[in-house]
Amino acid sequence: MNRVMPLMLLVAAILAFATVFLVILPGDEIRSAAATPGLEPYTESELRGRETYVDLGCVYCHSQQPRAPEQGPDVQRGWGRPSTASDYAYDTPHLLGTMRTGPDLLNIGARMPSRDWHLTHLYQPRAIHPTSIMPSYPFLFETKTEAEASDVVVRLPVENRPAGKVVVARPEALDLVDYLVSLDRTYPVANPELRDNGYSEDRGMEK
């Protein structure tokens, strides 16, 4: 019995330490960071798309935090410069992610700015990458015998098209693509420590 209390105190101290250094201090840093010039607030469409991104669980397989070269080869992969707190000034909640089953997406809008590409990729990832393990999201689309003038038709290879029909994007798909295309953090960094290490170029690469 005498050993229970010290053990409980030790556990409480560890939890308090982790909470302060992994939750409170990082959260305070992000909240107090002003948006870098060049970072625009999300539009209403992008915010709706962000909600769809959360609902679909995209954050479980994709991070949004490129790492410094000493931590990983993200810069060499073309995923952008290391991210800073000011990159997330308009993000609530923050979607940093914890896994990388797929590539980092913080700069996917810079790497893949094509709406057509994203729509095809969401409808059937294997139409673009045959070995992709990403799930498809056909419920974000509608199959019709003929497209209307206001429809956005998804461009698909012949083998992925429904016979005699067309696939058109629902509003949820268009909003999600608007959000993905908005993910472009290639403006110069505001963090002086990163600037001193050579990350002041527009594309976020080392000098």
- pLDDT at residue number 90: 92
3-state helix, strand, coil in the chain (%, to 5): 40, 5, 55
Measured in Å, how far apart are the chain's first and last C-alpha atoms?
Answer: 61
- pLDDT at residue number 206: 37
Helix (H) or strand (E) holding 167: strand 166-169
User: Which tens digits make up the pLDDT trace of 20-61?
Assistant: 877 777 766 666 667 888 899 999 999 999 999 999 999 999
* CATH fold label, 33-196: Cytochrome Bc1 Complex; Chain D, domain 2 (1.10.760)
Helix (H) or strand (E) holding 24: none
Structure tokens belonging to residue 69: 């070269």
Closest among 88, 69, 90 to 80, alpha carbons compared: 69
Structure tokens belonging to residue 86: 């000011």
In the predicted model, residues of the chain with pLDDT beneath 50 are 196, 200-207
DSSP letters spanning 135-162? PP-GGGEEEESS--TT--BPP--GGGSP
Q: What predicted TM-score, i.e. pTM, was given to this entire model?
A: 0.80
Domain ranges of the chain: 33-196
Name the residue with tokens 């923050």. 94
DSSP letters spanning 50-81? HHHHHHTTGGGT----PPPTTT-STTTTTS-S
